[in-house]
Amino acid sequence: MIGRGRVLRGFALLAAVCACGRVPEQALRDEQARSRHYRDAYETTAAELAAAKARLAEMEKSCPAPR
């Protein structure tokens, strides 16, 4: 016959294993959200840089050539 203490320890171990399975999923979602945030910031900065370069090229065209 299995003792009551062993059964309780078994349930505690099972609960710990189940709880551990949830933590990596949340950590993965958090990491994906951070990655998305950084990617969006990078893409925004790249678009702003491209627009600034285009404005600079237009301004350079309208300036007189140096002598």
- What's the CA angle centered on 44, arms 55 and 62, to 5 degrees? 0
Hey, what are 24's tokens?
A: 């990596």
Residue 2 has what pLDDT? 61
More confident residue, 12 or 26: 26
Residue 18 has what pLDDT? 63
Arithmetic mean of pLDDT over the chain: 84
Split at pLDDT 50, 70, 90, the class of 20 is low
Cα torsion 38, 44, 45, 50: sign: positive
* Domain residue extents for the chain: 25-51
